[in-house]
Amino acid sequence: MTGLTALNSVQAAPPAIAIIIDDLGYRYAEGQRAATLPGRVACAVIPNTPHGTPMAEMAHARGKEVLLHLPMQSLDPERPVGNEGIALNTTRVGVTEALRNGIRSIPHVAGVNNHMGSLITRHPGHMTWLMKDLQQNNLFFVDSVTTASSVALSMAREQGVRATQRDIFIDSEEATESQIIQRLETLYALARRQGQALGIAHPYPATMTVLERELPRLAQHGLRLVTVQELIGLRENAAKENADLASAKLDSSSFAAP
Ligand SMILES: [Zn+2]
């Protein structure tokens, strides 16, 4: 295969989606259902939950990508972050301990995404501490984007952490199967437009029923399922191609100028 043919076949790869199932660890049966979904979805497990450790083991054994779903302080005082997460009063050392305890509790972690966090992901100091620690542990970060004012992704980039953000939430607790299918179709459309798209779902029974049925049909929609790590790689490549294109344009315009 010539270089050009190889390039063409890379470009011909179908648009990709990645799906994270959040909030695992509390209820065994729903976690088991998530871990047995057809395809390499990512399972995001909350540390120090009743079933977190075996859930991560099960997900890993079934070829799923495991994420540490790290609790972060919400604007909602009814949803406390607990001792295991990152809050406004968490110190520099406390952030390191939260991550260390999380990794100890959840085996096979490839990356981290935030559970809640609408308050703390707006704080550059805490996010920088976390990203320094993720960098040291060679873990990627996914911003769940629980607030439009999140600085987590830019702090990750500053610290050289591989990172991305979710595009859409696929479900809500009250969503019906047909509403979830509509959200999935929105994810598909985004993937076709962007080349790749990242959705977050939860282990609600309606969501599991839809994903069990729809994931095996992705190829019929002209799509493929990738891990979050692979999706980050695709986005890095796309960003690099855009940058190369922009600098090529800049070069040719400077040649054109007298
Ligand atoms: Zn969550």
pLDDT string in tens for the chain (258-residue length): 444 545 555 557 999 999 999 999 999 999 999 999 999 999 999 999 999 999 999 999 999 999 999 999 999 999 989 888 999 999 999 999 999 999 999 999 999 999 999 999 999 999 999 999 999 999 999 999 999 999 999 999 999 999 999 999 999 999 999 999 999 999 999 999 999 999 999 999 999 999 999 999 999 999 999 999 999 999 999 999 989 988 888 777 665 554
Distance 186 CA to ligand 1 centre (A): 21
Residue 219 lies in a domain: yes
Q: The CATH number of the domain where 94 resides is what?
A: 3.20.20.370
Residue 143 lies in a domain: yes
Strands 140-143 and 109-116: parallel
Number of domains in the chain: 1
Residue 3 lies in a domain: no
3-state SS, residue 225: strand
Residue 98 lies in a domain: yes
Q: What is the pLDDT of residues 93-150, one digit of tens each?
A: 999 999 999 999 999 999 999 999 999 999 999 999 999 999 999 999 999 999 999 9
pLDDT, residue 83, reads 80
Residue 8 lies in a domain: no
Distance 78 CA to ligand 1 centre (A): 15
Residue 5 lies in a domain: no
CB 70 within 8 A of CB 113: yes
Distance 69 CA to ligand 1 centre (A): 7
pLDDT, residue 255, reads 56
Residue 2 lies in a domain: no
φ, ψ of residue 69 in degrees (nearest 5): -95, 90
pTM: 0.92
Residue 6 lies in a domain: no
Distance 45 CA to ligand 1 centre (A): 9
pLDDT, residue 84, reads 84
pLDDT, residue 250, reads 77
Distance 192 CA to ligand 1 centre (A): 27
Find the domain containing 27 and state its range.
Answer: 13-256
